[in-house]
Amino acid sequence: MVESLVLAFALSVIRLSAPMFIAGMGNMYCERVGVLNLGAEGMMVSGAFAAVLGSYLTGNPWIGVLMGMLAGLVASGIHALVCVEFGGMHAISGLGLTMLCNGIARFLCISIFGSTYSPNVTALQTTDILAGLPIVGGFLSQLSPLIYVGVLLGVVSWYVIFRTTYGLRVQAVGDDPKTVETAGINVWRLRYSGVLICGVLCGIAGAYMSLGQLDRFFDGMISGKGMMAVIAVKMGKWAPGGILGTALLLGLFDALQMKLQVANTIGLSPELLGMVPYLAGVAVLCFQRGKNARPTALDTTYLRNKYKF
């Protein structure tokens, strides 16, 4: 009995942590190149809706995931255009993008499905191919295949950022774009690439929430997970391992408040309990200690031909 409860709780933590980790990885790329991204929520909304629409139209959830990635890419392209090309304020662009994506997703959902929520679609909630594994097969098969995609992306991202020339250039452009341009490296191409990669990963995170956790889209389903991903990047010091640890911590608090809501043993309203993971994230962020790994040029404008040599 106790073992089954522990396993169920562990599954909840992993499932709730996954979208924050995947979106956090995307934000890491974006902020590593110096572009602040408060629009992760909007990119995730775009990915979540497009994924459900793709699965609804084709009956294939993997095509839905691809459509979610494409939607996230388009949304991030808007953010890149405003911040990288035109030198707009990063925070305003990100928040505006979130409002825009929420509005478009709601409008399209009502226009296509006649409601603020979609019908049930073919989803990716389990990985049945792993069920035959000894001992751990029963546990692992209950996780969405998109979680394993997220783990793979985390490993690849660690290698890319810390072991490749591209990753070293990404880190450099986030700290000192002027010096990078002096070395003959295209700063804007690097910044564009970081923002667009972020959009793709946020699209996957959104697709996971609509096809991996659930089997439908509804208005408001992202529910702050994009902003939690932003917190995870800061707490995780812009590194894949740190982001994973932070996402698991925030997922733990999220799973805990859900269990407390079900048990209803302490008499608090569901709304107050729902604040627990967000308050925990802010608290940990406030009391964070250690070396500040924040990219030096984060949230700075670097326009083409601004500097003459």
What are the structural domains of the chain? 2-125+138-286 (1.10.3470)
Query: 214 and 124 in contact (C-beta within 8 Å)?
Result: no
Model confidence over 168-216: pLDDT tens digits?
A: 999 999 999 999 988 888 999 999 999 999 999 999 999 999 999 999 9
Query: Any bridge partners for residue 117, and if so which?
Result: 218
The structure tokens 């009956």 sit at 59
> In terms of Cα–Cα distance, which of 273, 253, 255 is closest to 264?
273
- Rounded distance between C-alpha atoms, residue 205 and residue 48, angstroms: 8
Contacts of 297 (CB under 8 A, 6+ apart): 34, 173, 174, 175, 176, 177
The SS3 of residue 6 is: helix
From the centroid of its chain, how far is CA 32?
15
The secondary structure of residue 294, as a DSSP letter, is: -
Place of tokens 């073992």: 3
Helix 2-32 × helix 145-163 angle, to 10°: 40
Q: Which residue is associated with the tokens 């985390």?
A: 154
CA distance 212 to 53: 14
Phi, psi dihedrals of residue 117, rounded to the nearest 5°:
-135, 150
For residue 128, the model assigns a pLDDT of 85
- pLDDT of amino acid 309: 34
For residue 192, the Cα-to-chain-centroid distance in whole angstroms is 18
**Helical spans, DSSP H, in the chain:** 2-32, 40-58, 61-80, 90-113, 137-140, 145-163, 165-175, 177-182, 187-207, 225-235, 240-263, 270-274, 276-286
CB 2 within 8 A of CB 207: no
Total Cβ atoms within 10 A of residue 24: 34
- pLDDT attached to residue 265: 61
Angle (CA) 91-94-47 rounded to 5° is 160
- DSSP H helical segments within 221-266, as ranges? 225-235, 240-263
pLDDT tens by residue, the chain, 309 residues: 667 778 888 899 999 999 999 999 999 999 999 999 999 999 999 999 999 999 999 999 999 999 999 999 999 999 999 999 998 999 999 999 999 999 999 999 999 999 998 999 999 988 888 888 887 888 888 999 999 999 999 999 999 999 999 999 999 999 999 999 888 889 999 999 999 999 999 999 999 999 999 999 999 899 889 999 999 999 899 999 999 999 999 999 888 888 777 666 666 666 676 777 777 777 777 766 655 678 998 988 887 664 433
